Structure 1
Amino acid sequence: MAALENRPFVKMNGLGNEIVVLDLRDAPLAVPAAEARALARADVLPFDQIMALYPPLHEGTSAFVRIVNADGSEAGACGNGTRCIALYEAGRTGRHHLVFESVAGLLDCTVKPDGVTADMGVPHFGWADIPLAGPVADTRELELQAGPSEAPLLRAPAVVNVGNPHAIFWVDDLDGIDLAQYGPELEHHPVFPERANISLAKIVSPEHIVLKVWERGAGLTRACGSAACAAAVSAARLGRTGRRVRVTLPGGDLFIDWREADDHILMTGPAEYEFDGRLTAAMLTDDTPHVEVN
């Protein structure tokens, strides 16, 4: 019997970032990597991340959340998924201010009529905090490149940890570079011992960034909230933008405010409910999908 068999799920999305919410607070089961990979198959219940909710560790928080990627690995942060669980919990409880616990720290969320704001915490720029394989003098421009050695297409990314490791390459033409080709190689580059999210970022103006993301453990994605935060703070750190920007991803816009008072990153954007159902053994173990949808 599959560990997660017969567990209820809720399918949601944040800007097209596909999220499965598993509320395991009444039965705190681990999410087996093999079951996550089986569930993520294109003909079953494809997702970018599972947001698994567990009993809170401290009073005043709604749940402890673990984030599982489509390949079964764990992530430290998922901004779009955080907005989804905030909307889920607001619908369940009627509360509009919610705090979740995670391995990356507390996730403070506010659900508003025009979207959900999530406090993504403080970015970390030290090489050991990202982490990188060894000391680097300036994480605003890492000595890393991709493409032909004589004429690399990508070079000198900014690197930062926003719950996850991120590398942001600045480009003038987003459509001129095949991120699906370079993303896997860069995600697994030896300089990133815990792998990394790889982004291509175009600065449109001091208030606007356009972004494409190869997400660690998920691949090309329509949106990645932590990558939007990483690009925004990295651009501001380089003086290319201000601390409040609109980040446009294939799935839509996120609004990032790198708050000057305490360096916390506030991310605002939409979250949507799609459908709910129960997980079956076939979904979790077999090649033949069988989805029970309410």
Structure 2
Amino acid sequence: MLPFMKMHGLGNDFVVIDSRRTGALPDAATVAAMADRHRGVGFDQLAVILPGDNADARLVFYNADGSFSAACGNATRCVARHLMEESGARSLRLATDHAVLAAEDAGQGLTRVNMGAPVLDWAKIPLAEDLDTLHLPIDGDPVATGMGNPHMTFFVADAAALDLESFGPAHEHHPLYPQRTNVEIVQVVSSDEIILRIWERGTGITLASGSCSCAAVVAAARRGLTGRRVRVNVPGGMLEIDWRADGVWMTGPTAHVFDGVWRG
């Protein structure tokens, strides 16, 4: 019997397991079984809350296929909101495999998380070879970015016109990305607004993604297509991304949908 919480940020949905007392992690088979939307709970990612040595808590993330991810921005915001409501704190620090992330109550029910500095070095994203991360030698001229997980960002005139069902998996497994990659399709609306469609590594098409939104804004700003503070319109709603000197801050809503017990 495994108690869990179901949460989402703009429809990007998560199962969250609080293992602060036990320190236990689920195995890959359990994660994949829970992820099944027909026979399990269903989620885009799973997050486990663990005790934190140099932070208020430590987070471990899994993709829907049972593989690990070092970052999950919207899940981080959901957990941060849960822990702040639990403790009454207005801010806290959450350790991930990527970095120790600052989170805070942004007011009006919104939660803000600093996702840390973007990774722009090819070897740390990682890519398979030394390349210009601002212009990858791939049809469509995408940008490579790391946000604790790898990203490939394309800029198009009409994001809705692209067949993401086939485009996403074809690029997730591109040989330049030895750990696979998230794929972002960006349509620039103005210097402070973009439309974003998302293919998440190990999951597929999602309604939103925090790390993908951060990577998309970093890529757009590096190309000179937008500024550093951008509204990101995803199918599930809107996130605000602000690439500051101390990291990429992400602000948006969260929802705690229900609590349950896994008996698989």
TM-score, scaled to structure 1: 0.87
Structure 1 residue runs of 5 or longer lacking an equivalent are 1-5, 146-154, 282-294
TM superposition shift of 1:113: 3.0
Runs of 4+ in 1 over 2 A off after TM superposition: none
Partner of 2:92 in structure 1? 98
1:62-81 mapped onto 2 (5 Å cutoff) = 62-81=56-75
Residue type at the aligned position of 1:106: V
Residue type at the aligned position of 2:78: C
Residue type at the aligned position of 1:55: P
TM superposition shift of 1:175: 1.8
2: CA distance, partners of 1:274 / 1:68: 19
2: CA distance, partners of 1:83 / 1:192: 27
Indicate conservation of the 8 Å contact 2:106/2:251, yes or no. no
1: CA distance, partners of 2:56 / 2:134: 36
TM superposition shift of 1:54: 0.9
Partner of 2:5 in structure 1? 10
2: CA distance, partners of 1:104 / 1:66: 10
Partner of 2:211 in structure 1? 226
Q: Among 39, 51, 61, which residue is 1:55 paired with?
A: 51
Larger Rg: 1
Partner of 2:14 in structure 1? 19
2: CA distance, partners of 1:175 / 1:209: 13
Q: CA RMSD in A?
A: 0.9
1:1-294 mapped onto 2 (5 Å cutoff) = 6-43=1-38, 44-58=40-54, 61-114=55-108, 115-136=110-131, 138-145=132-139, 155-259=140-244, 261-262=245-246, 264-281=247-264
> How many residue pairs were aligned?
262
TM superposition shift of 1:9: 0.6
TM superposition shift of 1:57: 2.1
Residue type at the aligned position of 1:53: I
Residue type at the aligned position of 1:167: M
TM superposition shift of 1:16: 0.4
2: CA distance, partners of 1:28 / 1:238: 43
SS in 2 for 1:175: helix
Indicate conservation of the 8 Å contact 2:59/2:94, yes or no. yes
TM superposition shift of 1:277: 1.4
TM superposition shift of 1:112: 3.1
1: CA distance, partners of 2:19 / 2:2: 8
Deviation per CA, 1:145-184: give whole Å up to 9, x if none: 2xxxxxxxxx110110011100000001112111111111
2: CA distance, partners of 1:28 / 1:156: 43
TM-score, scaled to structure 2: 0.97
Indicate conservation of the 8 Å contact 2:239/2:252, yes or no. yes
Structure 2 residue runs of 5 or longer lacking an equivalent are none
TM superposition shift of 1:7: 2.1
TM superposition shift of 1:21: 0.9
Deviation per CA, 1:99-119: give whole Å up to 9, x if none: 110110111100233200000
Partner of 1:148 in structure 2? none
2: CA distance, partners of 1:73 / 1:96: 32
* Identity across matched positions, percent: 43
Residue type at the aligned position of 2:49: L
1: CA distance, partners of 2:224 / 2:211: 20
TM superposition shift of 1:45: 0.6
